[in-house]
Amino acid sequence: MALRVGVVGGGQLARMMIAPAVELGVELRVLAEDEGMSAALAATAVGDYRDAETVLAFAREVDVLTFDHEHVPQEVLAAVADAGIPVHPGAAALRFAQDKLEMRARLAELGMPQPDWAAVSGTDELQAFIDAHGGRAVVKTPRGGYDGKGVRVVSAATEAEDWFAALAEDARGGQLLVEELVDFTRELAQQVARRPSGETAVYPVVQTLQRDGVCAEVVAPAPHAGARLIEVAAQVGTAIASGLGVTGMLAVELFETTDDRILVNELAMRPHNSGHWTQDGAVTGQFEQHLRAVLDLPLGDPSPRHPWSAMVNILGGPRTDALTDRFPAAMDEHPAAKIHTYGKAPRPGRKVGHVNCAGDDLDDVVYQARAAAAFFAD
Amino acid sequence: MALRVGVVGGGQLARMMIAPAVELGVELRVLAEDEGMSAALAATAVGDYRDAETVLAFAREVDVLTFDHEHVPQEVLAAVADAGIPVHPGAAALRFAQDKLEMRARLAELGMPQPDWAAVSGTDELQAFIDAHGGRAVVKTPRGGYDGKGVRVVSAATEAEDWFAALAEDARGGQLLVEELVDFTRELAQQVARRPSGETAVYPVVQTLQRDGVCAEVVAPAPHAGARLIEVAAQVGTAIASGLGVTGMLAVELFETTDDRILVNELAMRPHNSGHWTQDGAVTGQFEQHLRAVLDLPLGDPSPRHPWSAMVNILGGPRTDALTDRFPAAMDEHPAAKIHTYGKAPRPGRKVGHVNCAGDDLDDVVYQARAAAAFFAD
């Protein structure tokens, strides 16, 4: 009997688990939100991940349940766990990925380096935080944000009035998260895989470049990273994985500050855009590693295969033709570029693919990845 | 509209096209011989590849037709081509992979280095060849052989009497192929990709180790390969690809003789066991390259990613448990090993998976691949 992994969500992260699952010989089953999604090839069910019956029926046919996203409600996760089906990451860990206030509070308990933050219940509290932090701050809705959504830089509390109003209407009530606006030199990401038995595998810390709140480029490992940075990032990643009980892939988004500190920005408990380079640049890609971790198999070697790797996202994509129509020109110019597309219709700003390049020369690797990805622009 | 590649045959070669197809964003469709085959995930049809109607109906839904094996009859290939559907490799090239006598004759026309050979119609002619070549020779049925089947080392013509008898009953009639028994130091393989427009990509020549006529191990590139060997192998591979009009992946199995010559042993016009190392060891794996070639897309960089790669087949597999039951032990000991399994039931001698390792040290790479594969033995 093949090992069966069930993935809730049919997006590109589920899709990119297909290749390593087929190669290992693991049966991947996907509960997709809709027909024709990115991971359609492996979709064995279509249904609403917020419906416990739907998820439970899907989960009963697999050895372990995992996710393409962190949005499955706690009560649904509980129903699956109550049925005795392994869920990785588990509900207790996912809580910290689902609610940024809980995440901040827990990271504080763990002594992790973070931006100054507070839970604010109204504009007065928010304004007080802004005033105490140089007149600007970042306000975040604790739940439901991604790719820059639910994040707002404000200089007056009135700019978040609509969010407070929305919270007041939410049965869960609650607060907004406010954080100091960090003066950072660059953004980094640390990936760690952790299996239920506790083993962890630490990827090299990478440099990420966001545009409009969306990941645009990643360079691995992070250039000009000293031994201290590498060590601190790995320690923070491992401490969070263990402290939060994460199983599967964890990505910790980090700020490197102008005064040389590392601060935790966001968490993702799943394969993450900052790790797409590992598909072609690491001995064990993050998607294979996630499958191994959630199956509680020994983790693979996370070492880079090449001195440098670069990943450039294809955002939006061509408006009038298909991504594959650009293959001839892109491949002709860049025979070493690894082109990945997600089977998604182009739409402005949407992640529809990415390009990985790897090699010995940092500048060349970055240039090749950018130039190849540019062939897929509108 | 996604590019659609149709593969006739649902074996592990079709299966291993799934991963690069998904990553590129190419739609792979497989016409499998049966339910539950190795490439079942991509199987969109089940039917007899010897039936023109079946193959034609399948082919009408794809942009190009290609193959997991070389056994599709010429009349079926002709029917697909007549319908205006691109077929790669085409019928004219496949003829030389389907009939070893035609292959030998054509390679002779091209001036390729070969063992002495002859087409023999009966035991007298065969005995004459044996006598003229030191009392031993290799007899081969021109059609239908693979993995050592249809190949016999003989020292007397009477040892092939059953094959002559079978030929006499075959409506096509015909002859047997006899070849000198080559005194070789080792076997090599040269892979070349060629697209319809003529572009070729040449992989490094590799060393292969056969056991009982079945590929057991591959080391890439071939150790102790001098510049002349590398050049000759590449020239032979490219000349055959062009001379026979091969499109897609071509593997040329070679003997390196004790007197330092390179002789062509066999051909395969598809991804080949000697190229499985490229999945983890080359910038462009042979399965991606085959898809690019048959789609007439620019070919990918065939360069190795590491100084050394080794591939060790999992032959037979465990009798009493599943391959995946061996994952914990194998992965624990060999975190850098890339384990590939084919979703096939274990059976003595059957190819059910392989292990790839890559790195800087030849001995270590070979050791790791062998040791990891050994965990899957009976």
pLDDT at B319: 87
A99 to chain B, closest Cα gap in Å: 32
- Taking an 8 Å cut-off on Cβ atoms, the answer to whether A297 and B327 are in contact is yes
Contact A43, A101 (CB under 8 A): no
Of the candidates B300, B319, B303, B317, the residue with the CA atom closest to the CA atom of residue B355: B317
CB B217 within 8 A of CB B313: yes
pLDDT at B1 over 70: no
Asked if A279 reaches chain B (Cβ–Cβ under 8 Å), the answer is yes
Q: How confident is the model at residue B149 (pLDDT cuts 50, 70, 90)?
A: confident
Q: Is A339 an 8 Å CB contact of chain B?
A: yes
Min Cα distance B111 → chain A (Å) is 32
Nearest to B170 by CA among B96, B99, B69: B99
What pLDDT tens digit does each residue of chain A (378 aa) get? 689 999 999 999 999 999 999 999 999 999 999 999 999 999 999 999 999 999 999 999 999 999 999 999 999 999 999 999 999 999 999 999 999 999 999 999 999 999 999 999 999 999 999 999 999 999 999 987 656 678 999 999 999 999 998 888 776 668 999 999 999 999 999 999 999 999 999 999 999 999 988 999 999 999 999 999 999 999 999 999 999 999 999 999 999 999 889 999 999 999 999 999 999 999 999 999 999 999 999 999 999 999 999 999 999 999 888 999 999 999 999 999 999 999 999 999 999 999 999 999 999 999 999 999 999 998
Nearest to A305 among B42, B306, B324 (CB): B306
Strand partners, A29: A6
A327: chain B residues, CB-CB within 8 Å: 3, 24, 297-298
Domains and CATH numbers, chain A: 4-87 (3.40.50.20), 116-180 (3.30.1490.20), 184-374 (3.30.470.20)
If you measure CA to CA, which chain B residue comes closest to A328? Answer: B297
Q: Pull the structure tokens for residue A121.
A: 């219940």
Cα–Cα distance between A362 and B249 in angstroms, integer? 32
Residue B172 pLDDT level (bands cut at 50, 70, 90) = low
The answer to whether A297 contacts chain B (CB < 8 Å) is yes
Q: In the structure encoding, which two tokens stand for residue B304, read together?
A: 């190795």
Query: A348: burial class by Cβ within 10 Å (0-12, 13-18, 19+)?
Result: exposed
- Dihedral sign (CA B126, B131, B136, B137): negative
Task: Tell me what pLDDT residue B320 has.
Answer: 85
B326 at interface of A, judged by CB pairs closer than 8 A: no
SS3 content of chain B, % helix, strand, coil (to 5): 35, 30, 40
- Chain B residues in contact with A1 by the CB 8 A cut-off are 322
CB pairs under 8 A between A and B: 116
Which token pair is A199? 């083993």
Residues with Cβ within 8 Å of residue A334, at least 6 apart in sequence: A355, A357, A368, A371, A372
- In chain A, where does DSSP find H-type helix? 12-24, 52-59, 74-82, 91-98, 100-109, 123-132, 161-169, 227-243, 278-281, 286-294, 327-333, 362-374
In the stretch 37-76 of chain A, residues with CB closer than 8 A to chain B read 41-42
Residue whose structure tokens are 């056994």: B71
CA A91 to chain B, closest CA, distance in angstroms equals 25
How far apart CA B180 and CA B112 sit, in angstroms, is: 16
* A300/B41 CB distance under 8 A: no
Kindly determine whether residue A24 and residue B343, on different chains, have CB atoms separated by under 8 Å: no
Residue B68 predicted with pLDDT over 70: yes
DSSP label at residue B368:
H
Interface test with B, best of A22, A62, A292 (most B CBs within 10 A): A22
What are the φ/ψ torsions at residue B344 (nearest 5 degrees)? -110, 145
Contact B177, B100 (CB under 8 A): yes
Q: How far is A210 from chain B (nearest CA, A)?
A: 23
Q: How far is A335 from chain B, CA to nearest CA, in Å?
A: 4
Residue pair B275/B249 in contact (Cβ under 8 Å)? The answer is yes
User: CA dihedral defined by B212, B216, B221, B226, rounded to 10 degrees?
Assistant: -20
Q: Judged by CB atoms within 8 Å, which residues 189-228 of B form the interface with A?
A: 201
Best residue in B17, B23, B38 for a mutation probing chain A (most A CBs within 10 Å): B23
Q: Are A58 and A29 in contact (CB under 8 A)?
A: yes
Q: Which residue has the tokens 């029926």?
A: A57
Q: Which residues on B lie below 8 Å from A25 (Cβ)? A: 323-324, 340-343, 353
Strand A43-46 and strand A27-32: the pairing is: parallel
| Test the A interface: residue of B283, B314, B334, B340 with most A CBs within 10 Å | B283
Q: By CA distance, what is B335's nearest residue in A?
A: A300
pLDDT tens column, B222-253: 999 999 999 999 999 999 999 999 999 999 99
Query: What residues of A are designated binding site?
Result: 100, 140, 179-182, 187, 265-266
Averaged pLDDT, B312-328:
93
- Which structure tokens are listed for B368? 């790791």
